[in-house]
Structure 1
Amino acid sequence: MKRNSFRYLWIGQALANSGDLFYIVGLMAIIHGMTGSAMLMAMIPFVTTMARFISGSFAPVLMDKYSLKSLLASSQIGKTAVLFLLLVTYYVLGEQEVTVYAILGFVFLISLLDGWAAPASHAMLPRLVDAAELTKANSFVALVDQLIQLGGWAVGGLLVVAMGGSNVIWLTFSLALAAAVFMKMIEDRHEAAPEQKGKADISNWNSIQEGWTLIWRQPSLRAIHIMYVLETIAGVIWIAAIIYVYVVDALNKEEAWWGYINASFFLGLMLGGLFGMRGAGLIDRNIRKFVICSSFGISLMTFGFGLTSVPWLALVFSAGFGIFEQLKSVSLQTTLQRSVSIHLLPKVYAAQSALVSLVFGLSTLLFGYITDEFGVRATYFIAAIVLFISGCYALRIRTRLPALGEGPEQQVRIGIE
Structure 2
Amino acid sequence: MEKIRLNEIKIPTSKATYFQTIKSGWHALINNDVVKTITLLDLSETIANVIWSQTFLLTFTVTILNLDEKWWGYQGSIYFIGSIIGGIISVRFAENIARYGGKIIFVSSLSVALFTWLYTYNGVALVALALNFLIGFPYQIRDIVEQSLLQESVTNDSMGRVFAIRQFLTILLSMLTILLASSLAERFGVRLIYIFAAVIYSMTTIWIAKSKLIKNLRA
Q: Does 1:219 align with 2:33?
A: yes
Q: 2:102 corresponds to which residue?
A: 288
Q: Does 1:305 align with 2:119?
A: yes
Given that residues 29 and 162 in structure 2 are in contact (C-alpha distance below 8 angstroms), is that contact kept between their aligned partners in structure 1?
Answer: yes
Which of 327, 332, 347 is the matching residue for 2:141? 327
**TM value normalised by structure 1:** 0.50
Q: How many Å apart are 1:187 and its aligned residue?
A: 3.7
Relative distance call for 1:264 and 1:335 in structure 2 (3 A) is same
Q: 1:237 corresponds to which residue?
A: 51
Q: How many Å apart are 1:373 and its aligned residue?
A: 1.7
Q: 1:396 corresponds to which residue?
A: 210
- In 1, Cα distance between the equivalents of 2:145 and 2:109? 11
For residues 282-329 of structure 1, give each alpha carbon's deviation from its aligned partner in whole angstroms, at most 9, with x where no partner exists: 101111100111011111111111110011111111111101110110
Q: Give the aligned residue type for 1:299.
A: A
Q: Give the aligned residue type for 1:314.
A: A
Which 4+ residue blocks in structure 1 deviate beyond 6 angstroms?
A: none
Relative distance call for 1:277 and 1:211 in structure 2 (3 A) is same
- In 2, Cα distance between the equivalents of 1:288 and 1:189? 39
Q: Give the aligned residue type for 1:369.
A: S
Given that residues 272 and 326 in structure 1 are in contact (C-alpha distance below 8 angstroms), is that contact kept between their aligned partners in structure 2?
Answer: yes
Q: 2:4 corresponds to which residue?
A: 186
Which of 163, 174, 194 is the matching residue for 1:349? 163
Relative distance call for 1:394 and 1:191 in structure 2 (3 A) is farther
Q: How many Å apart are 1:370 and its aligned residue?
A: 2.2
Relative distance call for 1:323 and 1:210 in structure 2 (3 A) is same
Given that residues 100 and 217 in structure 2 are in contact (C-alpha distance below 8 angstroms), is that contact kept between their aligned partners in structure 1?
Answer: no
Q: Give the aligned residue type for 1:213.
A: H
- In 1, Cα distance between the equivalents of 2:207 and 2:114? 16
For residues 250-297 of structure 1, give each alpha carbon's deviation from its aligned partner in whole angstroms, at most 9, with x where no partner exists: 111111111011111111111111111111111011111001110111
Mapping of 1:64-103 within 5 angstroms?
A: none
Given that residues 294 and 324 in structure 1 are in contact (C-alpha distance below 8 angstroms), is that contact kept between their aligned partners in structure 2?
Answer: yes
Aligned length: 218
Mapping of 1:121-270 within 5 angstroms?
A: 186-187=4-5, 191-193=9-11, 196-197=12-13, 200-270=14-84
Q: How many Å apart are 1:201 and its aligned residue?
A: 4.1
For residues 215-272 of structure 1, give each alpha carbon's deviation from its aligned partner in whole angstroms, at most 9, with x where no partner exists: 1121111100001101111111111211111111111111111101111111111111
Q: Give the aligned residue type for 2:4.
A: I
Given that residues 184 and 193 in structure 2 are in contact (C-alpha distance below 8 angstroms), is that contact kept between their aligned partners in structure 1?
Answer: yes
Q: How many Å apart are 1:204 and its aligned residue?
A: 2.3
Q: How many Å apart are 1:335 and its aligned residue?
A: 0.8
| Stretches of structure 1 lacking an aligned partner (at least 5 in a row) | 1-7, 9-181, 405-417
- In 1, Cα distance between the equivalents of 2:155 and 2:5? 19
What is the CA RMSD across the aligned residues, in angstroms? Answer: 1.9
Q: Give the aligned residue type for 1:363.
A: T
Given that residues 247 and 257 in structure 1 are in contact (C-alpha distance below 8 angstroms), is that contact kept between their aligned partners in structure 2?
Answer: yes
Relative distance call for 1:190 and 1:314 in structure 2 (3 A) is farther
Q: Give the aligned residue type for 1:208.
A: I
Relative distance call for 1:294 and 1:398 in structure 2 (3 A) is farther
- In 1, Cα distance between the equivalents of 2:107 and 2:6? 35
Relative distance call for 1:214 and 1:258 in structure 2 (3 A) is same
Given that residues 234 and 387 in structure 1 are in contact (C-alpha distance below 8 angstroms), is that contact kept between their aligned partners in structure 2?
Answer: yes
| SS of residue in 1 equivalent to 2:104 | helix
Q: Give the aligned residue type for 2:10.
A: A
- In 2, Cα distance between the equivalents of 1:394 and 1:403? 14
For residues 204-223 of structure 1, give each alpha carbon's deviation from its aligned partner in whole angstroms, at most 9, with x where no partner exists: 21101222222112111110
- In 2, Cα distance between the equivalents of 1:190 and 1:399? 39
For residues 177-203 of structure 1, give each alpha carbon's deviation from its aligned partner in whole angstroms, at most 9, with x where no partner exists: xxxxx6xx634699434xx31xx3423
Q: 1:387 corresponds to which residue?
A: 201
Given that residues 26 and 165 in structure 2 are in contact (C-alpha distance below 8 angstroms), is that contact kept between their aligned partners in structure 1?
Answer: yes
Q: Give the aligned residue type for 2:70.
A: A
Given that residues 223 and 397 in structure 1 are in contact (C-alpha distance below 8 angstroms), is that contact kept between their aligned partners in structure 2?
Answer: no
- In 1, Cα distance between the equivalents of 2:210 and 2:23? 28
Relative distance call for 1:294 and 1:187 in structure 2 (3 A) is farther
Q: 2:150 corresponds to which residue?
A: 336
**TM value normalised by structure 2:** 0.92
Relative distance call for 1:201 and 1:362 in structure 2 (3 A) is same
- In 1, Cα distance between the equivalents of 2:95 and 2:59? 41
Q: Which has the larger radius of gyration?
A: 1
Given that residues 266 and 322 in structure 1 are in contact (C-alpha distance below 8 angstroms), is that contact kept between their aligned partners in structure 2?
Answer: yes
